[in-house]
Structure 1
Amino acid sequence: MGFPITPLLPEVLRSLDAHPRLVLEAPPGAGKTTQVPLALLDAPWLAGRKIVMLEPRRVAARSAAMFMARQLGEDVGGTVGYRIRFEHRVSSRTRIEVVTEGILTRMIQDDPTLEGVGALLFDEFHERHLAGDLGLALALDVQGSLRGELRIVAMSATLDGERLAAFLDAPRLSSEGRSFPVRVEHFPARRDEALESQLRRAVEQALAQHPGDVLVFLPGRREIARAEAALSGCGPDIEVLQLHGDLPVEQQSRVLQPSAAGRRRVVLATNVAESSVTLPGVRVVIDSGLAREPRYDPNSGFSRLEVVAIAQASADQRAGRAGRVAEGVAYRLWPASQRLEPQRRPEIAQVELAGLALELAAWGNSDLRFVDAPPPGALAAARELLQRLDALDARGTITPPGRRMLALGTHPRLAAMLLAADGDGERALACDLAALVEARDPLRARSDGWRPRWQALAAFRAGRGDGDAHRGTLAAIDVAAKQWRRRIGAGAAPRAEPPAHALGDLLAHAFPDRIGRRHDRDPQRYQLGNGRMARIADDSALRGEPWIVASELRFEARDSLVLRAAPLDEARLRAGFAAHFVERDEVRWDAARRALVAERVRRFDGIVLDARPAGRVDPALAAQALTDAVAELGLDALPWSDGLRQWRARVQALRAWMPELALPDLSDDALLAAREHWLRPLFDGATRLDALSADAFGEGLRARLDWSLRQRVDQLAPTRIVVPSGMERRIDYALAHDGSPEPPVLAVKLQELFGLAETPRIADGRVPLTLHLLSPAGRPLQVTQDLRGFWERTYPEVRKEMKGRYPKHPWPDDPWNAAATHRAKPRGT
């Protein structure tokens, strides 16, 4: 059997023989996933070592391994095997190992030398999953420091290959593939029509007007189930099949094979069918234009799968599935006027990064080379959370508990909870909670408590029906819980109803920042461990609980709304989080009194349990409190003089005009961020905000620059300039709202510039002054940066108008050669 990629395989081998990295582009169906690993098996540089291929999805990993094994006439687990979450089929003979993304990261972390591995292949790299980006960054670090001979191949169907090849400093090869023309049509929805109804009309039209099977792209299992129901009754000759990552292996294999009965098929698939697997006989694609992709959900603190519009590259790739065996057609269920993003955004830019931060800490090197660097703010927030979970210490080094969390292969929050469980029953309950938190909500009715969800799961296990719960979702949760119990060595599922606070006591270890204590005066409000406030709904099942832990919150302007929580037992909380309960003297700024208040405070993290007057104000605490008060009130609370504001504007202007000077950033944001270094020492010994004098403040701010830089500022951005009249005139500097420098202004009477042809400039001649040319009475006549042009074109009109108004002042016909003056004409002239 020939594949479009086959003619290119010798060039792939030659390239990898000469260079350790390669970017390989080939369209869907070219055969890169299954033919490239087999072609590399006998490469001399591989020397009998293993090939590990990263496949983003479990369906594709199994499918690719099975296909390659069949080509070799073997069963999976021989020369070709696979590893996915909770499942593996490999042996000592396995030379090609297909793995999913988290598995690859664990392999590299557990064995940084990758002993016995000769090549890493990153398939479908264009999908830009976070784990794939991390895997590539780790592989490049291994190759650069330990294994220079390791081969790294990035393979994709729709990829910015030129950019990736430049990043990797790698050759780039492309296969044309083999495809037939595909006609694209936009299938309009009717007014207020549901997606399932529009889809049924499209399927009926496709079956009536076009030959072959129909492939339908939908965002997820829920939409697939609705579509399947909508398509019931299409006819006895039509077979409707599902394809998604949670299907049993047997059902997946059935979809990937032609129909045994020769019936036409309608395959309802997630984007797993976009590029990772091959479906025979498809001549029509119906594309919803939607996919479920991870996005950071601040309510839960996790990245959640959300339904989003696909990118144009994905739409093109989906349409191409209709042209694999003959000419085809693609129906798009969105308007032709709708514009899609050109490429899929990398996950690293839009998901929660706690898992990535923990992996980097375990690796011991945070300076890895990423195709797209993780956002600094999201990474800093992730590290702060990991410190709360005791996964990192204060220096950012991974702790022993952090390494145990990493080994569990789930979000650090859930890993912390699983590890905190004590005893077989509690560990089993933790497994249930981990499965419930990761899954879609099984309840149909709204509830903000976790106990009804666990009770629905227990009822499902006991075979009792529950009309308020989705049985399919509960079945998936039950399977996931069993896998977790097997993973951590827990026994059977919990049989008895857990104690009232058991769920909350476990969840507290996953969400320590969201532990809440009831407000003393408002029973619906809770102060959280992170310092924020939250409220429960009027009809909340949690009403009256003194302590809760909120796993999901909706962030609002004043108080966050608790969406899902469980009650806590205070005694268990004190035992499990003893180090978080502290009593100490604190000094804070009272904005209403504009004064410092000293208190003896008992607290749990950000929750104040009790506070009483402490008497004398500790000087060190006072200095810190005043510094924090400035952060709250803003820098305008400090004693600025006009001269100091001008000096700061001059520094900021020179930073923009002459970056080679490397002047420090004195913007509001930068000064507040660095306040501990320059402002706090200025408050030593002070107990009031107004104790800081303007002179001391000015000297402290100017000390941000050393003496030589201050001299350069005075030379390059002077405060005054001598004009032709012999007088010194002030230069005004200002910053725009965005912090950029505005043109410096010289306001001067017109007569003082007679004889001057060119506009004065500063900053080594780079920046012209903006001249505000004034009348003898000091009123503006003209604003210009082109003095020569003013004399040539505008001055004659100004002279004609002003000469009669100010006859005592000179208005010569020839300003070029007139004497500059700041005085009126002598009497009698």
Structure 2
Amino acid sequence: MSTFDLARIGTGLPFVAALPQLREALDGRGVAVVRAEPGAGKTTLVPPAVADLLEVRGADARRVVVTGPRRVVVQAAARRLAALTGTRVGGPVGSTVRGERQVGRDTVVEHVTAGVLVRRLLSDPELVGTGAVVLDEVHERGLDTDLLVGMLAEVRALRPDLVLVAMSATLDVPALAEVLGSDDGPAPVVDHPSAQHPLEVVWTPPPVPRLDARGVTDAFLDHVSRTTTEMHARALAADSGADALVFVPGVREVDRVVEQVSRLARGTEVLALHGRLDLRAQDRAVAGRGPGDPPRVVVATALAESSLTVPGVRLVVDAGLARVPRRDLRRDMSGLVTVQASRAAMTQRAGRAARLGPGTVVRCLDETTFAHAPEHAAPEISSSDLTGALLTLAAWGSPRGEGMPLLTAPPPAAVRAAEQVLHDLGLVDADGRTTELGVRAGRVPADPRLARALLAGAPLVGARAAAEVVATLADDHRAPDGDLAGLVSALRSGRAPGAARWRGEVVRLRRWAEDAVPRHDVPGHDVPGLVTALAHPSRVARRDGSTWLLASGTRAALPPGSPLQSFDWVAVADVTRTEGRAAAGTGAVIRLAAGLGADGIDLATGALRTREVRAAFVDGRVVAREVDAIGAIELAATPVRPSQEAGARAVADALARDGLGILTWSGTADALRRRMALLHRVLGDPWPDVSEAALAARAEEWLGPELRRLAAGTPVDRVDLADPLRRLLPWPRAARLDELAPERLPVPSGSRVAVTYPPHDDPDARPVVAVKLQECFGLADTPRLVDGRVATLFHLLSPAGRPLAVTDDLRSFWAGPYAQVRAEMRGRYPRHPWPEDPWSAPATARTNRRR
């Protein structure tokens, strides 16, 4: 007898019709990609179906591990499957999330977060005892899920008996099938098109901006609330069982819309649904309306987009926004930003209204905005902080992900930045491979920075004290005044929200730390700052007037009234970008920090402490100082004479930062650059690119001697750039420079007229020859440059030097417009020749009398 009654579990779920196709794919190849719309029942049906397949095969390894993107999704999926089987979580159906494991001896299907499975693979690459893995919600392109796709593809090469299913709603399925395929070809695809019920689309663009410098505007949320109330009332008039599901980007927005709709819609139960809620509140939101219950409006984040099903929904109201992670590499800051949602996400949201019957979606934007939205959300690997991912890949034996079958390769700049962080923390070596500390940190279920702070901080301040600070930083605990020490104290006393969860996290983290006797007598009030600095040494900050300078070079401000204003040094745990007048004009605000004593500075920032000569190019000359510094924070500085190397580097850095405008371009140098730019644009290589970026990148190659002269004190206005530019000319072809792009062109009068070439950064402009009209009598064919590829533009001038005509076709000019020009000009300039026949008249630069 099978563990699961699929007929009972699959009642009313459309995906039950696709189970035979799934079994066929897994029997043949052991791997499959499942594509089905949200609500089809794939999350509920596929894991028990795979478990039954393993049972029929008599497999030794029977456990089916199912991943989800977030803990709330994982726990909800486990509770639903357990309920359908008449059991509780911990029986045949279990779940494991960070800090909570409900698995028993009889567990066959285990729901886990993607991060849990990543760490499990690092400690047990063969997944002993696991017969199958089901990757759910792959289309969300979460960072851990993307890593799992690559890791499990490699595991299957060693364990072909491991059954692997990847499930998606909207992802580019062929690419996923290719990554999970083998020598036999791409993985088979089980494509289950859901029945489409009629869906009415209503557009309600707001009369106010949706976003401003601070995020989602309150005025827009009020518009969403009013729209929800009005449209739900209309839906209830047509169908008394119609519930509404509202999508907004974050928890703050959920809370405001819940408050507003509760006030506007009397007699309606308004519920929130997001990841910070406890299980009881989440269950209430996804349980559906019972007999006699009032109408419901559920206001949710993207949780309900595809991961969770809210029953009874006939109306979806979509704010059209999404909250996504972003990494600012330059300022060493990460955070969530609100952006326009993708069309795929908005389509999934709309589908929630028509899953079981006709429905309506109300989009709080206009059709043009929808049409211009990105097709799909960018994968997290393209925009997130990759520090944790890089440590995982290093521990997996694939530093930087090189050679891994990943859906999307990580951006090289983000990889370099993340690897530098890991190296500075002592977690990887120069080759990107894990150190002994890195191996230990990789086992700790926390961000690598926090894992390092826990492991390095425990011997300094004690395991419990280190675990308390790390637990505070690891979870979403907040302090309006930015005071981390005060927040830790409030959590310890039970006064802060989430204190119970925090205490459990402290116990869990303490197990990973060595419970050693502290080696340093660190005062209790300095502990939060020291542990934070061990996690983020580049965020140690010193007061600089009303703002703070971080070792990373970022300037930031504390929240008004923060008790940290009295400290000279702080360790910053969270700093985010901001706009407008906030943050004293720095563009960054410190959300959480702790005061840092002198001992903490020395213990945490040793790797950043330097004593070096720093040279800079200022006001046309090089200045240098010997600086004692912690990153960008200068502790002391003494003026010194720069070395040639340091000075040259300073000028090169200034060129890269400020562009070539810091140099003086003579007329000769500018003209040469224009000629070279035209040749590169028309002929390409080997004629060099002389754009701003290209010249700055090759500064040492073409400007090396001049850089050293500047470094030695030569004024910038005494350096002519014409000869340096000639160093870039490709020999021997450079001998044709004057032939292809001559400085002057001969005209019939015998003069050689200067050619004005277009600016180097104007690809549409043409070379210009400005010449007196009388000097061109008899010239029929307009001269062409660059072996005849580029036509010149003649500006035919009056005797006073004013343009009479602009043409690149002299033959047509003489035959037509010249007659009108002659009629208008001969009376104004009688001393100059205006022959009736310009073809036979002698060309001249002189007046009639001088002739």
TM-score range, shorter chain: 0.7 to 0.9
Per-residue deviation, residues 499-522 of structure 1 (Å, max 9, x unmatched): 221111111122322223345xx5
Name the counterpart of 2:470. 434
Aligned AA (2:492): A
Aligned AA (2:388): G
C-alpha spacing 1:480/1:589, structure 2 compared with 1 (3 Å): same
Task: Choose which of 455, 476, 481 in structure 2 pairs with 1:419.
Answer: 455
Contact 1:626 1:688 in 2 (8 A): no
| Per-residue deviation, 1:643 | 2.6
Per-residue deviation, residues 667-724 of structure 1 (Å, max 9, x unmatched): 2233334445554554447654426796785444433454246456555444344455
- Segment of structure 1 superposing worse, 164-173 or 410-419: 164-173
Name the counterpart of 2:618. 591
Contact 2:644 2:712 in 1 (8 A): no
Name the counterpart of 2:570. 548
Aligned AA (1:294): P
Distance in 2 (CA, whole Å) between partners of 1:618 and 1:239 is 74
Name the counterpart of 2:790. 767
Contact 1:808 1:824 in 2 (8 A): no
Contact 2:688 2:730 in 1 (8 A): no
- Segment of structure 1 superposing worse, 266-275 or 450-459: 266-275
Task: Choose which of 141, 145, 153 in structure 2 pairs with 1:128.
Answer: 141
Per-residue deviation, residues 652-680 of structure 1 (Å, max 9, x unmatched): 33443344x26554322333344455545
* 2:64 is equivalent to residue 29 of structure 1: no
* 2:381 is equivalent to residue 345 of structure 1: no
Contact 2:484 2:528 in 1 (8 A): yes
Task: Choose which of 309, 332, 335 in structure 2 pairs with 1:278.
Answer: 309
**Within 5 Å, which residues of 2 pair with 1:333-372?**
334=364, 339-340=369-370, 341=373, 343-346=375-378, 347-359=380-392, 363-366=398-401
Please give the secondary structure, in 2, of the residue aligned with 1:790. Answer: helix
**Within 5 Å, which residues of 2 pair with 1:90-239?**
98-106=111-119, 122-136=135-149, 155-159=167-171, 174-185=191-202, 193=222, 209-212=238-241, 214-219=243-248, 220=250
**Within 5 Å, which residues of 2 pair with 1:639-718?**
639-659=664-684, 661=685, 663-675=687-699, 678-680=702-704, 682-684=706-708, 687-690=711-714, 697-708=721-732, 710-711=734-735, 716-718=740-742
Please give the secondary structure, in 2, of the residue aligned with 1:501. Answer: helix
C-alpha spacing 1:238/1:774, structure 2 compared with 1 (3 Å): closer
Distance in 2 (CA, whole Å) between partners of 1:757 and 1:16 is 78
- Segment of structure 1 superposing worse, 319-328 or 303-312: 303-312
**Within 5 Å, which residues of 2 pair with 1:716-735?**
716-723=740-747, 728-735=752-759
Per-residue deviation, residues 550-579 of structure 1 (Å, max 9, x unmatched): 334566656966554322121232244334
C-alpha spacing 1:489/1:739, structure 2 compared with 1 (3 Å): farther
C-alpha spacing 1:652/1:415, structure 2 compared with 1 (3 Å): farther
Please give the secondary structure, in 2, of the residue aligned with 1:549. Answer: strand
Contact 1:808 1:825 in 2 (8 A): yes
| Per-residue deviation, 1:453 | 1.5
Per-residue deviation, residues 284-328 of structure 1 (Å, max 9, x unmatched): 445555554434579995543455554444333333223333334
- Segment of structure 1 superposing worse, 48-57 or 26-35: 48-57
* 2:584 is equivalent to residue 567 of structure 1: no
C-alpha spacing 1:628/1:601, structure 2 compared with 1 (3 Å): same
| Per-residue deviation, 1:545 | 2.7
Which runs of no fewer than 5 residues in structure 2 stay unpaired? 1-10, 209-218, 517-521
C-alpha spacing 1:735/1:821, structure 2 compared with 1 (3 Å): same
C-alpha spacing 1:202/1:115, structure 2 compared with 1 (3 Å): same
Per-residue deviation, residues 386-436 of structure 1 (Å, max 9, x unmatched): 444344556666544444444434434333322321249643333333343
Per-residue deviation, residues 330-386 of structure 1 (Å, max 9, x unmatched): 456x36679443545314455444434545555224556766665555555444544
> Aligned pair count?
802
Contact 2:399 2:432 in 1 (8 A): no
* 2:770 is equivalent to residue 747 of structure 1: yes
Contact 1:755 1:820 in 2 (8 A): yes
Distance in 2 (CA, whole Å) between partners of 1:22 and 1:744 is 61
Contact 2:289 2:312 in 1 (8 A): no
Name the counterpart of 2:803. 780
* 2:637 is equivalent to residue 611 of structure 1: yes
C-alpha spacing 1:809/1:23, structure 2 compared with 1 (3 Å): farther
Please give the secondary structure, in 2, of the residue aligned with 1:430. Answer: helix
Name the counterpart of 2:69. 56
C-alpha spacing 1:36/1:545, structure 2 compared with 1 (3 Å): closer
Aligned AA (2:806): V
State the TM-score, normalized to the length of structure 2. 0.77
C-alpha spacing 1:203/1:188, structure 2 compared with 1 (3 Å): farther
C-alpha spacing 1:335/1:734, structure 2 compared with 1 (3 Å): closer
| Percent identity (aligned) | 36
Name the counterpart of 1:463. none
Distance in 2 (CA, whole Å) between partners of 1:17 and 1:791 is 84
| Per-residue deviation, 1:177 | 0.6
Contact 1:589 1:597 in 2 (8 A): yes
Distance in 2 (CA, whole Å) between partners of 1:141 and 1:755 is 77
Distance in 2 (CA, whole Å) between partners of 1:424 and 1:695 is 56
Contact 1:598 1:617 in 2 (8 A): yes
Distance in 2 (CA, whole Å) between partners of 1:55 and 1:384 is 30
| Per-residue deviation, 1:27 | 1.9
Distance in 2 (CA, whole Å) between partners of 1:324 and 1:739 is 55
Distance in 1 (CA, whole Å) between partners of 2:568 and 2:290 is 63
Name the counterpart of 2:6. none
| Per-residue deviation, 1:767 | 2.9
| Per-residue deviation, 1:609 | 1.9
